[in-house]
């Protein structure tokens, strides 16, 4: 119960005090990076998202799949996933992402977004955590590893610092937020709009 209250306080501080915090070094954002595509791709797209956000799920399922087929697989675009948790459930889900083997991280993201309406159901955070346990168990994380990951304060700090950094640098006020070659996407987060910006850069 004490740890649960502590996490709630952390999220409260993020949401209501973010503009009062000092900036953080950029290297903190780049730790444990999760990405699709080649490092030398001419176009780099950062997607700031929350794993409990319905709009993020739709973007991941509908838009990213098209980007992968047309631009990522061909080496033109590298897609970088950046954690921007909006609640405790998404915060825990983000921590688990970084505890997984790199080869299983994208599968985890695909699963969470595709089954978002299932694992986010619960009357409290413990029930939602139990749902997450079922997801990551299939990906190689047992109950003990799950608890260790959820309570990893170093990982918590990295995710929260990355969220703060993203907020300060890109003025993020909703998820998903798309950044293309360090410029915030203007207009809708549609495939057509993103495609238009990519074509300008390749």
Q: Is residue 144 part of a domain?
A: yes
Q: Is residue 10 part of a domain?
A: yes
CATH number at residue 87: 3.40.30.10
Give the contacts of 16 (CB within 8 A, at least 6 positions apart): none
Domain of 116 in residue numbering reads as: 2-19+29-201
Q: CA angle, 41 as apex, 26 and 102 as ends, to 5°?
A: 65
Number of domains in the chain: 1
Q: Is residue 80 part of a domain?
A: yes
Q: Is residue 118 part of a domain?
A: yes
Q: Is residue 64 part of a domain?
A: yes
The backbone torsions φ and ψ at residue 44, rounded to the nearest 5 degrees and listed phi first, read -115, 125
Q: Is residue 24 part of a domain?
A: no
* CA dihedral for 166, 86, 82, 92, sign (positive or negative): positive
* 34-36/77-83 β-pairing: antiparallel
pLDDT of amino acid 33: 86
Q: Is residue 37 part of a domain?
A: yes
The C-alpha torsion from 102 through 104 and 108 to 114, rounded to 10°, is: 130
Walk along the chain (202 residues) and give the pLDDT tens digit of each residue: 555 555 555 555 454 444 333 333 333 334 468 999 999 999 999 999 999 999 999 999 999 999 999 999 999 999 999 999 999 999 999 999 999 999 999 999 999 999 999 999 999 999 999 999 999 999 999 999 999 999 999 999 999 999 999 999 999 989 999 999 999 999 999 999 999 999 999 9
Q: How far apart are CA 141 and CA 200, in angstroms?
A: 42
């Amino acid at each position: 119960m004490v740890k649960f209250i502590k996490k709630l306080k952390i999220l409260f501080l993020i949401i209501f005090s973010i503009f009062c915090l000092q900036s953080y070094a950029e290297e903190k954002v780049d730790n444990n990076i999760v990405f699709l595509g080649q490092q030398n791709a001419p176009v780099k797209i950062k997607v700031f998202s929350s794993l409990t956000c319905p709009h993020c799920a739709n973007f991941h399922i509908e838009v990213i799949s098209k980007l992968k087929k047309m631009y990522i697989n061909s080496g033109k675009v590298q897609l970088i996933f950046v954690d921007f948790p909006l609640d405790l459930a998404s915060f825990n889900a983000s921590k688990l992402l970084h505890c997984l083997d790199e080869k299983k991280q994208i599968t985890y993201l695909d699963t969470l977004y595709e089954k978002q309406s299932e694992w986010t159901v619960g009357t409290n955070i413990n029930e939602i955590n139990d749902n997450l346990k079922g997801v990551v168990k299939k990906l190689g994380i047992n109950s003990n590893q799950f608890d260790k990951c959820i309570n990893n304060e170093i990982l918590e700090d990295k995710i929260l610092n990355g969220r703060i950094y993203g907020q300060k640098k890109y003025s993020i006020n909703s998820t998903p937020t798309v950044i293309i070659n360090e410029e915030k996407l203007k207009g809708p987060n549609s495939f057509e709009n993103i495609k238009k910006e990519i074509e300008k850069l390749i």
